[in-house]
Amino acid sequence: MRVLPFLLEIGTEEIPDRMLPEAVAQLRELFEKLLAENKLGGEVSLAEGTPRRLVLMAENIAARQPDSEDIIMGPPIAAGEAAVTGFAKRLGVDPSALERVQTPRGEYRAFRRRVRGRGAVEIFKEFLPGLILSISFPKTMYWTEKAGPRFVRPIRWIVALLGARIIPFEIAGVRSSNASSGHRQLGKAKVRVTIDTYLQALRDNFVLVSAQERRSRIKAGLEKAKPDLELLERLVYLTEYPTAVEGSFAPEFLALPEEVLITVMRRHQKYFSVLEPDGRLAPRFIMVMNTVEDPDGLVRRGNEHVLRARFNDARFFWEFDQRKKLAERVEDLKHVTFQAQLGSYFEKTSRMVELVRELGGSELAERAALLAKCDLTTEMVKEFTELQGVIGGLYAKSQGEPEAVWRAIYEHYQPVNIEDSIPSTLEGCLVSLADKLDTLRGCFAIGLVPSGSKDPFALRRAAQGAVKILVEGRLSLPVSRLIGPSEQLAEFFLDRVRYYFRDVRGFRYDEVNAVLASGWDDLPDVESRLLALQAVRPTENFEPLAASFKRIRNILKQAQFTGGVEIDGALFEEDAEQTLYEHYVAVRDAVQAGGMDYVRKLERIASLRPAVDQFFDKVLVNAPDEKVRFNRLALLHGLLSEFSTIADFSEIVTQ
């Protein structure tokens, strides 16, 4: 069988960097599916994307599908001559060419037709246009006319080759060909390619198709830079031929807070910051340009110029904002809406202060809550919204607020994501909690509940943050009081608790279920119980005991026994019953006595295993005598309820 290499390049206007990696992955997947569904064999050897192209290369593709056979069923054997000749005639074959086929419904006449495989070029020609347009993007456009095709950005050329042949098709007036295009400024607009020459031809025209190669090229210039993987990835997909260049700014700007400088450089200009050997910010930066060199220093000077203007703006905002202290801005929050039905940020602030007080916060924490949102009225935050909180903290610091206050303001949006750390002080944790809980309670109260991927108020993140703060801040505050009466919110919150322990902390799902089934009002305690359960689980007695607990639960359920019967020692008939009872009492008393940590308690509970095993070995719970039966059920019920306060063992999945 003849096999051929394949190349597809979709040439576009600049695709947003954030969408490229996903688009490349989709292209690969869709193409692999196309190969498989059409039995063309082959494997993808390269899938890449630059701002102006999505590229896919493959090897060993069959030039033609394998031939196949098709069985066309005709009339049953019992049918008359006329039906048979009619069938053969319709197919245009001689009746002698028919054969007999056995089916579950009896024997039939049938014709075995050989189907010649289609040529790969023909198949690609048919399916590639649909494949290309089915790559999905977060936002698409039309560019020819309203009814025209939609894609992420206009498609301007297409290279589609199988071996030496062009696979001919057309999308939005663009005909596929063997002409690619080089770098916008440095390369030729039209670059003829073959599959063999493609990568080199593009390199000669200043396009590095490989993301890994672009990454390495950027990294080579980042030795002195503050590591920033996210920015690095953005730049990999914003460039076709990246080159890092170092620039500098006037040291006088270092008087501005580092946070502001870094935000301007990183977010607004996509520069890497540079650190001095002692870790302080250096008055330099590294930019990555989409070109080969900057021989006259024009690009560097241009970027320095822009940065200077940006820093000047920031300095202007900083000085302007100092005219009015944060404390004088509380009233101004009346004009900043939090949410139409939930009122202004002034009202939110009042609720936060109240909540912080309820949570037992100090006066400093209350002060921080009062000032936390004031930076929303500053020019700096209007300009750099991502610095809200941080700017408030910096202003509070420069305006002489105590460290506990300014630090709490500074950190009160933390954690901003699941990897981020929680606020470093108790005051900060309380203000952050109050902020998040107020948002959660308020939104749930007016029916703004996240559904599916829709979560405009980022309530998942808020709840996740609250869980993280409670656990990692070791704050034993009653969750039920924090979240209020909404059952819907309780369920939502529990979901986040489960997610945190399972997906973030990596506890096994059945352990999380077991521990949460025993209560989750105190999250640090939940963590302690989980750690204990995790520690005791591998011990010899634990899983068999858990299996027995599951059995106990089923027995009680079947008997519809819900307690309320005193255990009467006189009704024990078997030694095994008596023994289990004695062990039960001893363990119960020891566990209740206190002074034991959860691990010790669980070990003690696990030590019941031989007695429980023996009980099930020797005793028939379903005794004919009702009194005896109820007594036995009462013993089992006691075991289950007394020893499920740390974790509900029956939730443990045993081998």
Partner 1 sequence: MAVRWDISRTMDSFQQILFKLKKYWADRGCVIQEPYDVEVGAGTMCPETFLRVLGPKPYRVAYVQPSRRPADGRYGENPNRLYKHWQLQVVLKPAPYDVMDQYLGSLKAIGIDLRKHDIRFEEDNWESPTLGAWGIGWQVMLDGLEVTQFTYFQQCGGIDLDVVPAELTYGLERLAAFLQSVESVYDIHWTPDVTYGDVRLEEERQFSIYSFETADVATIWQLFDLYENECRRLLASDHKRDVVLPAYDLVLKCSHLFNLLDSRGAISVTERVGVIGRVRRLAVGVAETWMQQFAEAQA
Residues contacting partner 1: total by CB under 8 A: 48
Q: Which segments of 457-574 does DSSP mark as H helices, in order? A: 459-472, 479-483, 487-499, 509-517, 523-536, 542-558
Taking CB under 8 A as the criterion, the residue among 163, 302, 519, 544 binding partner 1 is 302
Q: Does 531 bind partner 1 (CB under 8 A)?
A: no
Give the list of residues 6+ apart from residue 569 with CB closer than 8 angstroms, or none. 578, 581
State the minimum distance, in angstroms, from the CB of residue 143 to partner 1.
5
- What mask, x for binding partner 1 by CB under 8 A, covers residues 43 to 82? --------x-------------------------------
Name the one residue in this structure whose structure tokens are 């030590």. Answer: 607
Q: Does 189 bind partner 1 (CB under 8 A)?
A: yes
State the minimum distance, in angstroms, from the CB of residue 160 to partner 1.
19
CB of 189 or CB of 416, closer to partner 1? 189
Burial class (CB in 10 A: 0-12, 13-18, 19+), 233: middle
Task: Using DSSP, state whether 540 is helix, strand or coil.
Answer: coil
State the minimum distance, in angstroms, from the CB of residue 394 to partner 1.
21
CB of 57 or CB of 289, closer to partner 1? 289
Q: Which helix (H) or strand (E) holds 458?
A: none
- What mask, x for binding partner 1 by CB under 8 A, covers residues 241 to 270? ----------------------------x-
Give the list of residues 6+ apart from residue 545 with CB closer than 8 angstroms, or none. 605, 606, 608, 609, 612, 649
For the beta carbon of residue 625, count every other beta carbon within 10 angstroms: 10
Q: Does 313 bind partner 1 (CB under 8 A)?
A: yes
Q: What single DSSP character describes residue 500?
A: I
Taking CB under 8 A as the criterion, the residue among 60, 291, 534, 539 binding partner 1 is 291
375/389 Cα distance (integer angstroms): 7
Name the one residue in this structure whose structure tokens are 């082959």. Answer: 42
Task: Using DSSP, state whether 505 is helix, strand or coil.
Answer: coil
Q: Does 509 bind partner 1 (CB under 8 A)?
A: no
CB of 386 or CB of 472, closer to partner 1? 386
State the minimum distance, in angstroms, from the CB of residue 306 to partner 1.
4
Q: Does 650 bind partner 1 (CB under 8 A)?
A: no
CB of 377 or CB of 464, closer to partner 1? 377
Per the DSSP assignment, residues forming a β-bridge with 150 are 142
Question: Measured in whole angstroms, how far is the alpha carbon of residue 635 from the centre of its chain?
Answer: 47
Q: In one letter, which amino acid is 100?
A: R
State the minimum distance, in angstroms, from the CB of residue 17 to partner 1.
7
Give the list of residues 6+ apart from residue 636 with CB closer than 8 angstroms, or none. 552, 555, 556, 621
Name the one residue in this structure whose structure tokens are 């089934």. Answer: 517
- What mask, x for binding partner 1 by CB under 8 A, covers residues 314 to 333? --x-----------------
Taking CB under 8 A as the criterion, the residue among 37, 113, 142, 592 binding partner 1 is 142
Q: Which stretch binds partner 1 (CB under 8 A): 253-261, 293-301, 417-425, 554-562?
A: 293-301
486 in Cβ contact with 445 (< 8 Å): yes
Q: Which stretch binds partner 1 (CB under 8 A): 158-166, 182-190, 573-581, 632-640?
A: 182-190
Angle at which helix 626-642 crosses helix 542-558, to 10 degrees, equals: 130
Per the DSSP assignment, residues forming a β-bridge with 72 are 111
State the minimum distance, in angstroms, from the CB of residue 226 to partner 1.
18
Per the DSSP assignment, residues forming a β-bridge with 61 are 4, 41
Binders of partner 1 among 210-239, rule CB under 8 A?
Answer: 238-239
Q: Is the dihedral of CA 512, 513, 514, 517 positive or negative?
A: positive
72 in Cβ contact with 113 (< 8 Å): yes
CB of 344 or CB of 424, closer to partner 1? 344
53/103 Cα distance (integer angstroms): 53
State the minimum distance, in angstroms, from the CB of residue 326 to partner 1.
18
Taking CB under 8 A as the criterion, the residue among 105, 146, 280, 323 binding partner 1 is 146
Q: Is the dihedral of CA 286, 288, 292, 294 positive or negative?
A: negative
Taking CB under 8 A as the criterion, the residue among 86, 154, 402, 450 binding partner 1 is 154
Taking CB under 8 A as the criterion, the residue among 305, 481, 505, 618 binding partner 1 is 305
Nearest in space to 71 (alpha carbons), one of 102, 41, 94, 96: 102
- What mask, x for binding partner 1 by CB under 8 A, covers residues 584 to 613? ------------------------------
State the minimum distance, in angstroms, from the CB of residue 50 to partner 1.
12
Positions that interact with partner 1 (CB under 8 A): 13-14, 16-18, 51, 139, 141-146, 153-154, 156, 184-186, 189, 238-239, 269, 287, 289-291, 294-296, 298-299, 301-303, 305-309, 312-313, 316, 335-337, 340, 344
